Structure formats: structure tokens, C-alpha cells
Amino acid sequence: MSTILSMRDINKDFSGVKVLKHVNFDVEEGEIHAICGENGAGKSTLMKVLSGVYPHGEYQGKIIFDGEEKKFSSIKDSENAGIAIIHQELALVPDLSIAENVYLGQEKPARFGMIDWEQVRRNAVAATESVGLHENVSNAVSSLGVGKQQLVEIAKALQKKAKLLILDEPTAALNDEESDTLLRLVEGLKDSGVTIVIISHKLGEIQQIADRTTIIRDGETVETIDMSDPSSTTDKIISLMVGRELSQQYPDRACTIGEELLRVENWTVAHPVQSDRLILDDISFTVRRGEVVGIAGLMGAGRTELARSIFGRSYGQFKSGKLYISGKEVELRSPKSAIDAGLAYASEDRKHNGLNLIDSISHNITLAALRKVIRGKLIDTDRETSIADEYRVTMNMRTDSVRRPVSSLSGGNQQKVVLAKWLFSDPQILILDEPTRGIDVGAKYEIYTLINEMVASGKAVIVISSELEEVMGISDRIYTLAYGRMTGELSKEASTQESLMELMTQEVEENRHVA
């Protein structure tokens, strides 16, 4: 195989902070090449340099692609050269049709000086079907789930005749079935001659499809390993990523479980618009002080809807049910009332519902409990900064200043800001919805440690996760949801992936009316 891409001695800084330091990166034609590293290691920054998001002149070093040195000044330049990047946040326009999105940013077929929409649709059908998407291309992209939207992005890239396709965390927001579909497609693209670079924190996926893997740590390339070598194990990748051995994936926790802190009885919630469509049907569960309770279920089971409806009825139409905190019945009709009652909810979508990305780290941390930093009628910015700085240090946030916008942080560090925000509000019960989605193993371990510290201080934590191994690794008890109903409760000792999956798929036929 010949080398299709060579990046030599790449350096990039932001406001004097070195993000990439003398990075060297080579990709062979026709391979699937993975990039691994902790959040903030510089993986996405390197790919943005390659794709022209950061144009020539804003970095130092050389890019040689297809035998020629390239000095891209924009994404358009890199696309014209045959490089396409699909970011973790998809670049689609929801209200436009699938066909229009496939042609975004490129010239459309024309006839007699007018756009030939019939040819646009025919080409879009061919492009989408080539990636396994069989949908009416006249439908709006917003009608598709995230997995299918990923396929539209790939179809768009292939329509531009990409020789090198960069996928940044392509399966982070997908369920297992959608992830398998996407990975099979990636392998098929390789077979058709497309070279793939994939950034992923899911080491199992990398073991499955990558030919070689380059590890980046603290802005520097550490090593490139051949995945066919028996020594290229997950443990080796983790060690190279974090610069130390992780003796175990989940930190030990000595449980001291106390009295019941939260009780939910016969909780029933309908769809936000369709009042006759039950999303949650007669759900009951309990959580005790000092306990981590996991909630497992397939996509559409109602996990997030349950969390949001408990947190101040911020989802759906409440039908019936009772909620008790420390033995006292409460009616939480708004998120503010939930916060005041000692409840906190860290959303699965931190970028849209968990953080104000354009605001500072310090203000995000104090946002849920501003009363604590108000003096008179004004925010005491010195106190706010001091508090945020304490969280920066204790939670090992990778930033030199809490006055920087949250958008400047990596995904894992943004998640730490979300947790810091809720810890500052001093809740008794913390609901964490997909707390480690899209972050690396080192940052995951730190978050698991924070969860342990929360319950050790007498709080209760509810963890919702799509990763069964994670649910089993950190929970004391696990409840399962299927089609809006609670189908089982298992102790940590009794839980296996098989036993959980059996409960998560229970009563499918009976509950098809429930989303």
C-alpha cells in the first residue's frame, strides 16, 4: 500500500496554549486508521487542521495528500482535493429534504439554466442507497433518527467523490444496532477503495474494524500500532492513551447504604402531544441514601423520559403517580421546584440542555444555584471564579482559566462542568443520563470516582446508560425498562448482560402502543 496522507511536525495553539506539539501522522491508502486519545488530547483539532477548518497559516507543519503538499484555506479546498470530514455534531439542515442535504455545499445538476430537481433526487437516491439508506429523499432530514442522519452525511461525502473520509465519533449517539450498521458500512467503504480515518472512544469498535491505530496524548503522537498484532490489546491502547495503567475499569466502592431517599409510585406519563399515547406506564422504584441505582433499557424504552418527567415534569403530560423524597410526598411541577427539593438532572445532551456553550465555565458551574454567589442584587464574580476554580482543580478540568467559554473544552471536560454545576447545587439525589457518552476511558474513570464520592457523602445517584457493562460496573441495583414499563429489578451480583437484555426486551408484543 502507498501512503495517501502524511502530516509532518504539526503544531497548533489557542491563545498561547499548545494543543498539538510536533504531531506526525501517516495513513495508508485503502486502510481504516483509528485515532485514540483522551478528551483534550488533540484528536479533533488534528483532523480540523487536515480538513481546512483551521486554514494554512493558523498552524505549523506540512500536509502531504495524494503525493502533493496541500495548503488548505477552507473546508471547500480539502473537499475539492478529496477529503471529507463528518463531525460529531452533524452538519445537516433539519428542515431541508434528504436530497437537498446530500447536495449541500456543492453544485446541483442543471438543465436550461435551472436546477434539475428530478436529477438531484435520482442522484440522491443512488447516493443514499449506496450507504444502505432506503428513504424517500423528498422527506425532511428531521424525520430521520440520528443513525440515519449519519448515513445522509456519509452519502453527502461520497457524492463529493471523497478519497479520504474522516469520521469523528460516528457512533457516540447511536444504539448498538445502529452502530453495527454503521461499522459494516465503513468496512464496505474500505472494500470499495475509500480510505477511512475514524476517531472513537469505543475501543471495542476499534478492535473490530481498524487496521492501524495512532494514539495521541497531550497533543503529541505516542505510537502507531498494527491492530493485527496480538499485543495490540485494549489494555495496551488504554495504557498508551492515559500514560498509566488502569488496573480496573471501575473503581472500587465500599457501600454504606442507608434509608430510602427517593420513592416513585405508579408513575404514568403521556406523550407531549398525544395524550392517549402512554410513554411511561405505572412505573415504581426506590433509591436509598449512599446507593447507585442503574436504569437500563433499549432506545425508546422511556429512560430519558422518566428522568425528565421526575425532574419537575419537564417531559410529557403527567397522568398520575406519587413522588416521595425522604418519606415526604412532593409535587415537583417545574425544574426549579425539583432543584429546591434536592433533585438534580444531568441531561444526556450536554451541548443543548446541559450547558450554555458561549458562556464561561465559571458561570455554567454556578448557574443552577446562583443564589449562592449573589451579593445584594449582583453576582459576586470574584466568589464565582473562586468556586469554579476549586472545581477545576478537584475535578482535573483541562483548562488554564475558568473564564474561558465552555465551548473551548473537550467533551469530557464539558461533562465535568455539568457535574460540577449540579454538585454546587448540593442535591440529595442526582440523576445522570448517559454521563460518559462520547468521552474517553480515562475521563470515564474520573467520573466513576466522582459518583463514588457523591454516594460516600450520603447522596443517592441514578445512572441511565446504554452501555450494559457500565451499568453493571457502577450500580448497586439495576432496574430495567421496556416499552415504557418497568420490567425487572436485579442486584449487582445477579446482573449479567444476558439477564438484563432478557428483561429489556420483555413484553414487546403487549406494549407496542407504548413508545
The three cell numbers of residue 66 are 495524494
- Tell me the backbone φ, ψ of residue 165, rounded to 5 degrees: -110, 125
The three cell numbers of residue 193 are 477503495
Specify the pLDDT at position 512.
Answer: 39
- Over the stretch 185-233, which tens digit does the pLDDT of each residue have? 889 889 888 999 999 877 888 899 999 999 998 889 999 999 999 988 8
What is the amino acid identity at position 345? Y
Pairing status of strand 17-28 against strand 32-36: unpaired
CA 63 to chain CA centroid, Å, is: 29
- Over the stretch 21-61, which tens digit does the pLDDT of each residue have? 999 999 999 999 999 887 678 888 898 999 999 999 999 99
- Over the stretch 273-331, which tens digit does the pLDDT of each residue have? 888 889 999 999 999 999 999 999 876 789 999 999 999 998 999 999 999 999 999 99
Structure confidence at residue 159 as a pLDDT band (50, 70, 90): confident
- Over the stretch 443-496, which tens digit does the pLDDT of each residue have? 788 889 889 998 999 999 999 988 888 899 999 999 999 889 999 999 989 998
DSSP string, 296-328: EE-TTSSHHHHHHHHTTS-SSEEEEEEEEETTE
Q: Name beta bridge partners: 18.
A: 13
- Over the stretch 228-252, which tens digit does the pLDDT of each residue have? 999 888 888 878 887 755 556 788 8
Give the residue range(s) of CATH 3.40.50.300 domains in the chain: 3-242, 248-342+428-515
Report the residue count for the chain.
515
| Helical segments of 281-410, H only | 303-310, 335-340, 361-366, 381-394
The residue among 98 and 114 whose pLDDT is bigger is: 98
Angle at 227 between CA 224 and CA 232, to 5 degrees: 80
Residue 442 and residue 398: Cα distance in Å, rounded? 13
Query: 3-class SS at 194?
Result: coil
Specify the pLDDT at position 66.
Answer: 92
Residue 489 and residue 170: Cα distance in Å, rounded? 32
Fold of the domain spanning 3-242: Rossmann fold (3.40.50)
Fold of the domain spanning 248-342+428-515: Rossmann fold (3.40.50)
pTM: 0.64
In this prediction, what percent of the chain has a pLDDT beyond 70? 96
Specify the pLDDT at position 515.
Answer: 40
Residue 479 and residue 147: Cα distance in Å, rounded? 26
Specify the pLDDT at position 158.
Answer: 81
Question: What totals of helices (H) and strands (E) does the chain contain, helices first?
Answer: 16, 24
The three cell numbers of residue 135 are 428513504
Burial of 337 (0-12, 13-18, 19+ CB in 10 A): middle
- Host H or E run for residue 206: helix 203-209
Specify the pLDDT at position 298.
Answer: 77
